[in-house]
Each structure stands twice: as C-alpha cells, then as structure tokens.
C-alpha cells in the first residue's frame, strides 16, 4: 500500500516537475497573419531550449498543427519566433508553446488569432498608439480585447522607456514589460498585432536616424516582434501586407529620418531615401493590383503647419509635398492614413490634408490615441476633433460587397463613453478623374420628424450636361452598425422649385416593383463613381443616376414613413 501511494505521489510530482517554473519572460504575441499562416514570438529564460508552436482550432490544442523547432540562443536573448503554415482562411485558432517536449500551460504562453479572409471579405480592425504601462488607466486594452478585432495595429509608443543604447538587453526589457503587463499582455495574447514604432519606443523623444541606439533598436525589433516581412527599405522596419482586398503599408518615420531641425531641402527626409523609394513602389503596386483601399500606417501627424523643428510632417514639409504630388500624379485616390502620436481622436475628410501643389491629394486621415497616456492635441486642423484624452482607440470597419469600392466606418472611441467620432466613407480602386466638375458630397445626418429634411446643394458649372449619381442610403447602413438608420429615405432632386427626379427604392419603381435592368445599370454607376455597392435590390435605399444641365440643384431627403433616422446623403460626379 505504502509502495502504491509513493508511486502515485511520484507520478503527481512528475506532472508538477514537467511544468515546473515558467520558462517564459514576458508573454507571447502573434502577427504576420495571412489567410493561411501566422507567426508567434516569445522569449525564454534559458539558452539551448528546444521549442515549437502548437496551433489548434480547439483551446485544448488537440488536434494540433506544429511549427518547426527553434532552439534558444544567447545571441538573440533567448527570443524565439515560430511560423506555422497550412492554416484555413477566416478561422479562429488557439496556440501554445511546447518547451523541451512539454506543452506549457502558463497563461503567458497561450494566445489566439484569426486567419485573414482569402480575397473579398468584410472585417473590423482596431488601432491606437501611446500606451504607457506605468499609467494608472489601462482600460483601453480591456476594451479592445472585448471588441475582438481581426487585427490590432499599434502605431507607436508601445512604451515610454526612451531607451537609446547599444545594449540589446535594454530594448528586450521594454518588450518584456509590455508583454508581461496584466492588461496589455492579455490583449496582445488575444489578437494578432501589426506594430510600427514611434519615437519613445524607438530611441526617445523626437528621435531620428542619428540616435546611437538605432541599429540595436532595429535588430531587437526583428527578434522580438512578430512582424510582416520587412521591406527592402533602407534598413528601416517598413512593412506591407494585405487583409482581404485592403493593402496596409506601414512606414517607419524614425529610424531613417533626418533631424527635424535640419533646414528644408529636397534631401531632407522623414522616410529616408531607401524607404521612400520602397513606399512609392508599394503605392504603385497597390494601385496596379486594384486594391479598393490602401491604409497608410503613418504614425505622426500629416496635417500641421510647415515649420522647421516640428516633430510632425510639418517638419518635413518639402517631402510631404513630394509625396502628395506623387499620389496625385499617379492617380491614386484611395489612400487612408492611420495616425497616432497626437494623444487624441480626430479625422479629416480631405478638407485640410491636401498638400499637393495646387491641390489634388485630399487624403482621409484617421487619428486614434492615447491608449494609456494623458491627452494632448498636435497638428490639425481636422474636420472632426481633435478630442484629446486617455483610454482612447480607433475602430475601422471595412465592408466589402465586391466591385471596385469598399465602404468604411471609422469610430473614435473613448472607454466608457463609446464612439466620440464617426466618419463613414467609401474608397475605390478607380482613380479620381482629373476634370471632376463638382466635389463629391457625403453627409451622414439624422432626420428627427416627418417635416424634417436633410438638404444639400451642388452646382453644375460649364456649358454641357454632366452625369451625376445621387444617393440617400438608409437600410444598408444597418450593416455598417448604424443603429438608427432611416428605414425609407425619400430622395428628391430640385432645380429651383422644380422637381427633377425622386426615388424611394434604388431598384424599385414608385409602386415598389422591381424595375427591369435598374439594379445592373445603377450598380455600374456605383462602380464608376467609386461608391460602395448596394446589395439588396428590394431595399429602400434611394439612388438616382441623372444627366443634368448646368445650374444650381438642391437635394432633399425626408423620412418616408415619418419615423426619425440617420441617412447618408451622397452626390458623385459620374466620370
Ligand atoms: Fe505618445
């Protein structure tokens, strides 16, 4: 009997000894996600440990797919990276790490990711910057975890250590702090990340390519971050990748940058020569591949007055004009910027962001920060915001119904207060026509009573007729998460007091019967205009494609059933 008890006790000991002390420093995080693969990075406590990644659709990690084995070594600070291939698109996976033959059970070794859609797909990402693990308010990380985005894009200031050193251990310790943090570590384990640094997590406040820590910061980034393949971009950590039909280009505004205090000239560069050539080529490749949307992860404020010494694009104003002219001259009309650094929420619809000589590059700009740091305003002006504050982040929803355009909704969120800013826009692979006679109008507004109307106007100049697409989108907004979308928008176009045309169901006649060929004809017009597609032919979303003679026009939207609701009023010049 004693013998059997001893045996049992030894067996239990065996289990305990097998797990033993945690071999992890900090935690795991995943990235480099594609429709069929992903990378996980972590750091272990000892050299010569043989480890591999275990991936499964089940939290029990059975059955599993494995990465190749990796053995820790002192030269990389025992950091390890595993890549697993052959996964299914659009699928949730759990992962863990096997060390020395034992699948570890520590929370810091377990995580999740979802593979990306293959081809067309709608999805939601979250983005933000400026997370200080010493700050008392860390609830943004818990809120993002609850959002369950497909990806979290970190746009810099992963921490505020301001390390500028040639000792890699100094940089490694920063990652350990972030990934070992209660709230932050839990979020990074729950979703994949695409991370681009800014100054404080590179080499310190306003740091540039002259920082002594530059090469060390770059090499520890490569060893400890589950990054996408790094571009051939002058030694910077620039990366580009795709999510469905969205191309994401992340630029490194620090490690290739000339000092902002340098006098303006054609050679003063925020990107550095190598990265700039890479960036331009990435934009051309995205255009030629027909991506409806290009997200430029551009960590620092684009909109700011030109000023030598400014730590924004205003401090590299000559290069800003060069990039804006490049975008215009190459007929690229679908670049949307994701920016941080400013500790606030803001967006610009192109009103303030056009730095092309004589105009022609009105970029959409979305700002989201600070995750866990005090609020401040930088750059601007913005057409929405800026709202400074802590516990803030951005959500971008992309709705892809096929065709050359996608619809997007940006939410600037403050924890506990919900969306503080909303901006709905569409983005198209089609280049903007250089002779567009009228500016596209896009307004989201709420009608509150049966008498109330949303009114907008436009002018057709010149001496010839122009084709115009006018829409009042209501029911389809529900799929964008607009809770109070108008059920039956009544759209009417007037010239003076005269009614030109009216519609209450885009593919229906006045008796709500399907009109032969209307859906096909209007869908072609949506595509030509760069407007997102309407899918439901029986919906009461309203649309009119009209040939109009020169003059002043008024558009009115009323609620057909009299109930209050929000509608998106759009006017497009049809090329
Ligand atoms: Fe910051």
Place of tokens 């494995």: 66
Examine the pLDDT at 405 and tell me if it is beyond 90.
no
pLDDT beyond 80 at 568: yes
Is residue 69 in a domain?
no
Q: What does the alpha-carbon distance between residue 491 and residue 124 come to, in Å, rounded to a whole number? A: 30
Measured in angstroms, how far is the CA atom of residue 123 from the centroid of ligand 1? 27
- Distance from C-alpha of 332 to C-alpha of 432, rounded to nearest angstrom: 7
Same domain, 268 and 130: yes
- Ligand 1 centroid – CA 356 distance (Å): 28
SS3 11: helix
Q: Is the pLDDT of residue 435 over 90?
A: no
Same domain for 241 and 205: yes
Separation of CA 339 and ligand 1 centre (Å): 11
**What distance in angstroms lies between residue 341's CA and the mean position of ligand 1's atoms?**
5
Q: Does 421 share its domain with 528?
A: no
Give the Cα separation of 305 and 315 in Å (integer): 8
Residues 460 and 556 in one domain: yes
Task: Tell me the C-alpha distance between 261 and 309, whole Å.
Answer: 4
Q: What is the CATH number of the domain that holds 519?
A: 2.60.120.380
323 and 451 inside one domain: no
CA of 149 to the centre of ligand 1 (A): 22
| Residue 370 CA to ligand 1 centre (angstroms) | 7
Residue 243 CA to ligand 1 center (angstroms) comes to: 26
Share the mean pLDDT of the chain: 92
User: What's the CA-to-centroid distance between 24 and ligand 1, angstroms?
Assistant: 28
Q: Measured in angstroms, how far is the CA atom of residue 131 from the centroid of ligand 1?
A: 7
Residue 124 lies in a domain: yes
| pLDDT value, residue 455 | 85
Highest-confidence range of 135-144, 398-407, 480-489, by mean pLDDT?
Answer: 135-144
Expressed in angstroms and rounded, the spacing between residue 388 Cα and the centre of ligand 1 is 12
Q: Is residue 369 part of a domain?
A: yes
Q: Average of pLDDT values for 286-293?
A: 92
Output 198 or 571, whichever has higher pLDDT: 198
- Domain annotation covers residue 448: yes
Distance 300 CA to ligand 1 centre (A): 10
3-state helix, strand, coil in the chain (%, to 5): 20, 35, 45
CA of residue 414 to ligand 1 center, whole Å: 16
Best CA proximity match to 198, nearest among 241, 153, 141, 233: 153
Per-residue pLDDT, 440: 64
pLDDT mean over 120-143: 96
| Phi and psi, residue 170, nearest 5° | -65, -40
Q: How many residues does the chain have?
A: 575
Q: Quick count: other Cβ atoms within 10 Å of Cβ 542?
A: 27
pLDDT of residue 291: 93
The alpha carbon of 140 and the centre of ligand 1 are apart by a number of angstroms equal to 15
Q: Which residues contact 382 (CB under 8 A, 6 or more apart)?
A: 303, 346, 347, 348, 352, 365, 367
Average pLDDT over residues 199-209: 97
C-alpha of residue 570 to centroid of ligand 1, in Å: 36
Alpha helices in 427-549 (DSSP H): 518-529
What is the H or E stretch that residue 537 is in? none
Rounded to an integer, the average pLDDT of 304-321 is 97
Enter the DSSP assignment of 106: -
Is residue 35 a part of any domain in this protein?
no
CA 494 to ligand 1 centroid distance, Å: 49
Model confidence at 207, in pLDDT bands (50, 70, 90)? very high
Closest CA to 426 of 527, 351, 280, 507: 527
Question: Which residues, other chains included, contact 90 with Cβ-Cβ below 8 Å and sequence gap of 6+?
Answer: 35, 114, 115, 116, 117, 118, 121
Residues 509 and 411 in one domain: no
Compute the distance from residue 359 Cα to the ligand 1 centre, in Å.
30
Residue-wise pLDDT tens digits, 23-41:
999 899 999 999 999 999 9
- Residue 2, pLDDT score: 44
Cβ atoms of residues 412 and 346 within 8 Å: yes
In degrees, rounded to 5, the angle at the alpha carbon of residue 223 between the alpha carbons of residues 221 and 226 is 75
Nearest to 41 by CA among 75, 74, 76: 76
pLDDT in tens, 336-391: 999 999 999 999 999 999 999 999 999 999 999 999 999 999 999 999 999 999 99
Mean pLDDT of 400-415: 89
Report CA(41)–ligand 1 centroid distance (Å): 24
Residue 14 has pLDDT above 60, yes or no: no
Are 488 and 410 in the same domain? Answer: no
The tokens of 133 are what? 């693990």
Residue 55: pLDDT over 50: yes
**Residue 224 pLDDT > 60:** yes
Counted domains in the chain: 2
CA distance 181 to 173: 12
């Amino acid at each position: 009997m004693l013998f059997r008890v001893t045996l049992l006790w030894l067996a239990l000991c065996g289990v305990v000894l097998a797990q033993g002390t945690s071999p992890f420093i900090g935690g795991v995080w995943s990235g480099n996600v594609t429709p069929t693969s992903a990378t996980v990075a972590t750091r272990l406590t000892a050299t010569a440990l043989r480890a591999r990644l275990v991936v499964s659709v089940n939290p029990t990690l059975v059955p599993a797919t494995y990465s190749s084995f990796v053995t820790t070594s002192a030269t990389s600070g025992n950091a390890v990276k595993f890549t697993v291939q052959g996964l299914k698109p659009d699928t949730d996976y759990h992962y863990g790490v096997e060390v020395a033959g034992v699948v570890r059970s520590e929370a810091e070794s377990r995580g999740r990711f979802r593979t990306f859609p293959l081809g067309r797909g709608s999805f939601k990402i979250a983005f933000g910057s400026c997370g200080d693990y010493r700050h008392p308010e860390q609830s943004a990380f818990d809120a993002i975890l609850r959002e369950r985005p497909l990806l979290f894009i970190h746009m810099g200031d992963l921490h505020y250590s301001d390390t500028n050193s040639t000792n890699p251990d100094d940089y490694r310790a920063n990652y350990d702090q972030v990934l070992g943090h209660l709230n932050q570590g839990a979020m990074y384990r729950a979703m994949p990340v695409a991370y681009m640094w800014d100054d404080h997590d590179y080499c310190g406040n306003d740091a540039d390519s002259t920082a002594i820590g530059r090469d060390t910061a770059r090499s520890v980034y490569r060893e400890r971050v589950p990054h996408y393949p790094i571009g051939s971009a002058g030694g910077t950590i620039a990366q580009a990748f795709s999510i469905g039909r969205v191309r994401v280009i992340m630029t490194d505004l620090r490690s290739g940058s000339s000092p902002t205090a340098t006098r303006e000239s054609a050679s003063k560069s925020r990107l550095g020569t190598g990265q700039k050539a890479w960036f331009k080529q990435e934009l051309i490749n995205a255009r030629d591949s027909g991506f409806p949307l290009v997200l430029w992860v551009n960590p620092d404020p684009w909109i700011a007055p030109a000023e030598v010494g400014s730590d924004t694009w205003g401090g590299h104003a000559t290069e800003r004009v060069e990039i804006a002219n490049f975008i215009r001259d190459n007929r690229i009309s679908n670049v949307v910027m994701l920016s941080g650094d400013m500790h606030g929420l803001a967006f610009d619809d192109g009103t303030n962001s056009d730095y092309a000589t004589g105009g022609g590059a009105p970029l959409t700009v979305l700002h989201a920060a600070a995750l866990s740091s005090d609020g401040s305003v930088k750059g601007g002006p913005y057409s929405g915001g800026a709202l400074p504050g802590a516990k803030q982040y951005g959500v971008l929803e992309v709705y892809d119904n096929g065709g050359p355009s996608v619809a997007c909704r940006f939410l600037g969120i403050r924890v506990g207060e919900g969306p503080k800013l909303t901006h709905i826009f569409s983005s198209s692979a089609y280049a903007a026509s250089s002779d567009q006679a009228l500016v596209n109008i896009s307004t989201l507004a709420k009608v509150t009573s049966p008498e109330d109307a949303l009114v907008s106007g436009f002018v057709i100049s010149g001496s010839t007729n122009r084709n115009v697409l006018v829409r009042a989108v209501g029911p389809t907004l529900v799929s964008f998460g607009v809770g109070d979308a108008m059920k039956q928008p009544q759209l009417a176009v007037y010239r003076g007091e005269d009614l030109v045309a009216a519609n209450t169901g885009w593919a229906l006649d006045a008796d709500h019967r399907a009109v032969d060929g209307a859906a096909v004809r209007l869908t072609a017009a949506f595509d030509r205009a760069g407007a997102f597609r309407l899918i439901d032919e029986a919906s009461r979303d309203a649309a009119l494609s009209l040939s109009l003679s020169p003059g002043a026009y008024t558009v009115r939207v009323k609620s057909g059933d009299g109930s209050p609701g929000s509608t998106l009023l759009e006017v497009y010049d049809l090329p």
